[in-house]
Structure 1
Amino acid sequence: MLQTVPAAAVQLAGVSLPVSVLVVFAVVLGAVVLFVTEAVSPDVTAIAVIVALVALEPFTKVSAAEGLSGFSNPATVTILAMYILSRGIQRTGVVRRLGVEVAHLTRGSENRLLVAIIALTGPIAGIVNNTPVVAVFIPMVTDLANESGVSPSKLLIPLSYASMLAGTLTLFGTATNLVASELSADLLGRPFGVFLLTPVGIVAFLVGAAYLLTVGRWLLPARVPPGSRTERYEMQPYLARVLVTARSPFVGNSAQTVAADAHRDLGLDVLDVVRGADHFVATDSDRELASRDILTVRGNPPTIQQFVEYGSLRLLPRATVTDAELDNPERSTLVELIVPADSSLVGETVTGARLRERYDATVLAIRRAGGELVRDDIGETQLHGGDALLLQTTEVSAEFLAENDDVVVTGEVFDEVMARVREGGVSSTALIAFGILFGVVAVAALGLLPISVAALTGVLAMFVTGVLSPNEAYDAVNWSVIFLLAGIIPLGIALRETGAAALVADAVSGVAVGLPPLVVLVLFYLLTGAFANVITPVASVVLFLPIAASTASSIGADPFSFVLGVTFAATTAFMTPVGYQTNLMVYGPGGYTFSDYVRVGAPLQLLLAVVTSVAIALYWGL
């Protein structure tokens, strides 16, 4: 490979641009297009960036070692460790217990529930990874909303936004903060302390909370009607009870066989069998059907009628099928789950995902983005990121689903969970796990160890004390995020080393001549936030933080304040469901449309652009 190339430039619109800068811009443009179009997953795009930068080293000035440096970057290592520490906290059940206690205190009051969601989610998500926190709270929020007669849509976006606002409270809050800290150290020799963001973060959180409790609450739609799960998914026309008559050909056949044949031939699901006081799941039982058995079936009305005629059955029109019939810990349970954007199930059909074979799970309905309900031809339905699935399975299978990284299980037998958690005390394991986490924060805050080393020490302590096993630790890490970070970090090196960032900063500063530094900071906040909504917060920080720092220097402002502005902007991507993973998690369960995020998130993002910039100016100076 050539090590050097002659200095060359290209004239564009009367401006002479070095070829190296044009090459880096081409890589940036390609990455942005792939991020926006989602032609491939973000982590694959990040790996492609590494390959492109190293292959074009004579132009990009990124060596192989620098291209791979993202994997060893302290931010990447710290984030990996924090995923593991968060899993250790999650396994103790303390977060769930806190949520249950709050749920108990706020029953029946929408106002108290909304305040409690924001007040509790914030402090927890400021230290613990917010994805499991939001996953724990979704079923509680949904069930309590239904008990109060409130649409869950009124509460789930505030849950996600509160967890995002909490990310501004500490250095550990988001991966974006850690990447920004490393970039700040490289550019300005000034990394972030653990609580450096906290003063301005508290202001942003309080302002955001006030917005969600007032204006945001008014702007939020009521997409999903309150009610039981079967009511929320409008399942009543698709569920029926049928009686097995003495002349039915099903008599003497196993329930499992009848269920399999009905699913294969008609696309109809036989869910369970009632025999007197005895209930059992049809797909999980080899018991033979007998006369007078009652079958619970799911299908569209014409298919149900066809099944009745074929099997010489009798439809029981007054036997309404409710959650109580489908959700009983002794035989079966209703589970709601979300398909994450990075799940291997995305693009698969329900049949191709083999949920029935692997988990004895029958998918009853799917709620898509925008609130669309799918109840017909479910087997041929292709799964998308953010889809919410309602399914029936066994208790054992539900536990396996909860451990599967391809789905986020959010629906559980709420009252049973509440009773079990309230009966239990705080275990010694929980005390150890929290002691380790607070020890990591203290050691990093006091500067006794670098933050990455402190976090790894905490991981080791969780292994030694038995809080987590190494296998559980590997499963806890969101590897797509790790690869995304490792791939995007070298792009910042290329922008800096080729002078591309400085070139853009010169152009921006030329436009900003005569504007007050505070106005320029607000504009950078808005620009960074807009990109974070479509190309991920981490990528937007890598792109705009060097440019913001250079622009600040050229207009005589404090580069560090601009670094902070870009960091806060990237962590608050409210306007799209793909801007942050918790937004996508509540997309399906809330029945939201894309425009809901714009309507509720855009005013909040504009408000915080002004409030946060002013707070930075007052606290840090410009």
Structure 2
Amino acid sequence: MLAIVLAALVLFATEAAPVDVTAIGIMVSLLLVEPVTEAAASVGLLAESFAVVSPGEGISGFSSVATVTVLAMFVLSAGVERTGIVETLGERVAAFTGDSERRQLGATIGIVGPISGFINNTAAVAILMPMVSDLAKKGGTSPSKLLLPLSYASMFGGTLTLIGTSTNILASDLWVTLGPTGAEQFSMFEFTKLGVIVALVGTAYLFTVGWWLTPERIKAEEDLTSDFELSEYLTEVVVREESPLVGQTVREALASMEEDVDVVQLIRDNRTFGEPLGQKVIRGGDVFVVRTDRESLIDVSEGEGLDLLPEIEVSDAELETTEQNQGLVEVVVAPRSSLIGETLATSRFRERYDATVLALRRGPELMRSRLDEVSLRVGDTLLVQATEDSLGRLNRNRDFIVAQRVERAQYRREKVPIAVGIVIAVVALAALDVMPIVVSALTGALAMVVTGCLKPSEFYDAVQWDVIFLLAGVIPLGIAMEETGTATLIADGVVASAELLPPIGVLGLFYVVTALLTNVVSNNASVVLMIPVAVEAATRIGADPFAFVLAVTFAASTAFMTPVGYQTNLFVYGPGGYRFSDYVRVGGPLQLLLAIVTTVGIWFFWL
């Protein structure tokens, strides 16, 4: 078991494989222990065979209350999203902020915090990020000053209710399975009083110390071409009459070139054309806006009969002036995107979306050449030029998060009262103990489809299947740790190392260890690994195991110190232009502050 736990930690931390694949690998490893040891025992390599989980326990994650509840909550969040109510609320609040940075920060935190308590906080950030980016642009504020607080505030909101994050729901299920006899699921507002305190303290930090520490990585009021430092990579060339490219299509010409050159626009007879350009036949006198580096430009000009137009600076305004009303937007690669590990070439991005990628930002790193060869990662931000139709398709595609607001005609605004009513009913029924949360959530998910808030085909698209398989795969790990005594062994070590600490000190130690672990591996994996140990440790020192489980739950739901610690941190990593060190600088003091606040709060309320 220790070997499997260690392997899981290494794989989760290094992301050598997607986290959901790692989780399923853990589940399979647990299931294989018995047949492998039987085979070893049959040939004399072991004295006897043994098992760490039964087959039923090994696959119990798929039927877990936590897994099914989280699935239903994804559907509920999608139903609310499709009505457009969150964007509408954001727009109305933003109208009062003007160019005041503090009011913009207040609007960002004030919207995402409460919303994250009732719809999945990851979904809340994905929905609100375009609104916050537009808010910063219109108000002349650096988006870097608002996007990190957006991510952090969504985590505060996730601690307000049981359904705020999948972590809370998973912790509730594990408490019933691994806690003392008679342990019950967390109620809807079980820890809301502590969540409110965490949110208030966290908000105060973001308005004071956090605001001072948060850097302006992206300058205010810069256009996107300047933001991505494209002045040396975008230029205009004119095709000579005798050029060998004359008579070829743009696609044929690009395919014949060895240099890294991308055609962004064609200017012909005072008309400007954007994508799709591949089938246009090149004529003498055509002017092309191209993306390339200086060395490649010189080679192409000499070999292909092109003349560089001097003193031309390509700006956002020029790139957006085309026959097809093209625009420039930042597009973020989403966590469950099918493009992860693919390149722009292998995914046929240009052909699928009639869009051109001009640059790529990965945290602070900017890439503006050989883009077709770059393997895409979660959180990569692409600067894309595309038509309104293409932007709409990108906005609807769950592979991406468009970082600027794009009007979505498919919003079902007439369904707003119904969607909001369904969510209120789900929360109320669970909070009043009329029915378990899994039953009310599933009923609400079905109601979203029956009432037309979601189309049947959108039901499956709404679910983040990587999270579902992650939960299903790691839940048996907690069971195995408990049943094999591994949790007891680790808890003994923790308690022995903290002999000089009072119970509140051991409680704080569990918060800190879980928080550090969560900043490196998946938050859900951290909960599964730490809750069995927390229950055992609390039992050993005669403390309330529930308090220790809460410490683990809150710590796993608030990972501020790395971009990989929480999905929302990755969402804002590229659009904010942040460096890894920014998360440590801004999130480190916040993590320490909340470690103290949460530990003292749990001690006051539950011990």
Structure-2 separation of matches of 1:181 and 1:313: 66
Corresponding residue for residue 487 of structure 1: 473
Structure-2 separation of matches of 1:285 and 1:261: 9
Deviation for aligned residue 1:249: 5.7
Q: For each residue in 1:495-538, what CA deviation from the matched residue of structure 2 results, as whole angstroms up to 9, or x when unmatched?
A: 11122222322333333335222111111100111111112111
Corresponding residue for residue 334 of structure 1: 328
Q: For each residue in 1:447-490, what CA deviation from the matched residue of structure 2 results, as whole angstroms up to 9, or x when unmatched?
A: 11211111111111111111112221111111111111001111
CA contact under 8 A between 2:99 and 2:141: conserved in structure 1?
no
Pair 1:322 & 2:325 matched: no
Deviation for aligned residue 1:287: 5.2
CA contact under 8 A between 1:259 and 1:269: conserved in structure 2?
no
Structure 1 residues 463 and 146, CA, compared in 2 at 3 Å: closer, same or farther? closer
Letter in 2 for 1:160: S
Corresponding residue for residue 242 of structure 1: 237
**Percent of aligned positions with the same letter in both sequences?**
52
Structure-1 separation of matches of 2:455 and 2:244: 52
Corresponding residue for residue 110 of structure 2: 119
Letter in 1 for 2:132: V
Structure 1 residues 263 and 159, CA, compared in 2 at 3 Å: closer, same or farther? farther
Gaps of 5+ in 2: 35-48
**What SS does structure 2 have at the residue aligned with 1:389?**
strand
Q: For each residue in 1:99-153, what CA deviation from the matched residue of structure 2 results, as whole angstroms up to 9, or x when unmatched?
A: 2223332231211111111111101111112233222333333343344443322
Corresponding residue for residue 445 of structure 1: 431
Structure 1 residues 176 and 122, CA, compared in 2 at 3 Å: closer, same or farther? same
Corresponding residue for residue 569 of structure 2: 583
Structure-1 separation of matches of 2:115 and 2:256: 47
TM-score (norm 1): 0.89
Q: For each residue in 1:581-610, what CA deviation from the matched residue of structure 2 results, as whole angstroms up to 9, or x when unmatched?
A: 111111112222222111211111111011
Deviation for aligned residue 1:163: 0.8
Indicate which of 50, 56, 77 corresponds to 2:27: 50
CA contact under 8 A between 2:343 and 2:372: conserved in structure 1?
yes
Structure 1 residues 120 and 349, CA, compared in 2 at 3 Å: closer, same or farther? same
Structure 1 residues 297 and 470, CA, compared in 2 at 3 Å: closer, same or farther? same
Structure-2 separation of matches of 1:553 and 1:455: 33
CA contact under 8 A between 1:365 and 1:390: conserved in structure 2?
yes
Structure 1 residues 144 and 306, CA, compared in 2 at 3 Å: closer, same or farther? farther
Indicate which of 250, 262, 280 corresponds to 1:269: 262
Corresponding residue for residue 152 of structure 2: 161
Indicate which of 378, 403, 425 corresponds to 1:385: 378
CA contact under 8 A between 1:335 and 1:412: conserved in structure 2?
no
Indicate which of 43, 68, 76 corresponds to 1:85: 76
Indicate which of 9, 12, 16 corresponds to 1:39: 16
Structure 1 residues 304 and 263, CA, compared in 2 at 3 Å: closer, same or farther? farther
Structure-1 separation of matches of 2:496 and 2:281: 81
Structure-1 separation of matches of 2:359 and 2:278: 23
Letter in 1 for 2:315: T
Deviation for aligned residue 1:286: 4.6
Indicate which of 185, 197, 204 corresponds to 2:191: 197
Deviation for aligned residue 1:296: 2.1
Structure 1 residues 460 and 375, CA, compared in 2 at 3 Å: closer, same or farther? same
Structure-2 separation of matches of 1:378 and 1:90: 33
Deviation for aligned residue 1:292: 5.4
Mapping for residues 138-177 of structure 1, pairs under 5 Å:
138-177=129-168
Structure 1 residues 216 and 590, CA, compared in 2 at 3 Å: closer, same or farther? same
Structure 1 residues 247 and 529, CA, compared in 2 at 3 Å: closer, same or farther? same
Indicate which of 203, 226, 229 corresponds to 1:231: 226
Structure-2 separation of matches of 1:242 and 1:459: 55
CA contact under 8 A between 1:263 and 1:269: conserved in structure 2?
no
Structure 1 residues 282 and 584, CA, compared in 2 at 3 Å: closer, same or farther? closer
Structure 1 residues 569 and 425, CA, compared in 2 at 3 Å: closer, same or farther? closer
**What SS does structure 2 have at the residue aligned with 1:56?**
helix
Count how many residue pairs are aligned between Structure 1 and Structure 2.
587
Deviation for aligned residue 1:81: 0.8
Letter in 2 for 1:63: S
Q: For each residue in 1:421-451, what CA deviation from the matched residue of structure 2 results, as whole angstroms up to 9, or x when unmatched?
A: 9xx9983212211111111111111111211
Structure-1 separation of matches of 2:69 and 2:138: 41
Deviation for aligned residue 1:222: 2.2
Deviation for aligned residue 1:283: 3.0
Deviation for aligned residue 1:403: 3.2
Pair 1:497 & 2:483 matched: yes
CA contact under 8 A between 1:164 and 1:572: conserved in structure 2?
yes
CA contact under 8 A between 2:198 and 2:598: conserved in structure 1?
yes
Indicate which of 276, 279, 297 corresponds to 1:304: 297
* Larger mean Cα displacement after TM superposition, 82-91 or 51-60: 51-60
Structure 1 residues 125 and 327, CA, compared in 2 at 3 Å: closer, same or farther? farther
Q: For each residue in 1:281-311, what CA deviation from the matched residue of structure 2 results, as whole angstroms up to 9, or x when unmatched?
A: 2534755555655432222233334444555
Structure 1 residues 263 and 204, CA, compared in 2 at 3 Å: closer, same or farther? farther
Indicate which of 529, 539, 542 corresponds to 1:556: 542
Structure-2 separation of matches of 1:506 and 1:309: 73
Letter in 1 for 2:491: A
**What SS does structure 2 have at the residue aligned with 1:611?**
helix
* Larger mean Cα displacement after TM superposition, 318-327 or 446-455: 318-327
Structure-2 separation of matches of 1:96 and 1:459: 21
Letter in 2 for 1:429: K
**What SS does structure 2 have at the residue aligned with 1:237?**
coil
Corresponding residue for residue 613 of structure 1: 599
Letter in 2 for 1:520: V
Structure-2 separation of matches of 1:425 and 1:360: 24
CA contact under 8 A between 1:336 and 1:412: conserved in structure 2?
no
CA contact under 8 A between 2:84 and 2:413: conserved in structure 1?
no
**What SS does structure 2 have at the residue aligned with 1:283?**
coil
Indicate which of 25, 30, 49 corresponds to 2:2: 25
Pair 1:212 & 2:198 matched: no
Deviation for aligned residue 1:328: 5.6
Letter in 1 for 2:471: L
Pair 1:258 & 2:232 matched: no
Structure-1 separation of matches of 2:134 and 2:226: 12
CA contact under 8 A between 1:326 and 1:333: conserved in structure 2?
yes
* Larger mean Cα displacement after TM superposition, 234-243 or 356-365: 234-243
**What SS does structure 1 have at the residue aligned with 2:342?**
coil
Letter in 2 for 1:523: L
Structure-2 separation of matches of 1:60 and 1:579: 33
CA contact under 8 A between 2:84 and 2:411: conserved in structure 1?
no
Structure-2 separation of matches of 1:259 and 1:143: 35
Deviation for aligned residue 1:161: 0.7
Deviation for aligned residue 1:156: 1.5
Structure-1 separation of matches of 2:602 and 2:275: 61
Corresponding residue for residue 170 of structure 2: 179
Structure 1 residues 147 and 535, CA, compared in 2 at 3 Å: closer, same or farther? same
* Larger mean Cα displacement after TM superposition, 592-601 or 396-405: 396-405
TM-score (norm 2): 0.91
**What SS does structure 1 have at the residue aligned with 2:575?**
coil
Letter in 2 for 1:37: T
**What SS does structure 2 have at the residue aligned with 1:105?**
coil
Corresponding residue for residue 600 of structure 1: 586
Indicate which of 394, 397, 413 corresponds to 2:387: 394
Structure-2 separation of matches of 1:450 and 1:524: 29
Letter in 2 for 1:103: A
Mapping for residues 404-423 of structure 1, pairs under 5 Å:
404-412=397-405, 417=407
Corresponding residue for residue 21 of structure 1: none
Structure-2 separation of matches of 1:547 and 1:451: 26
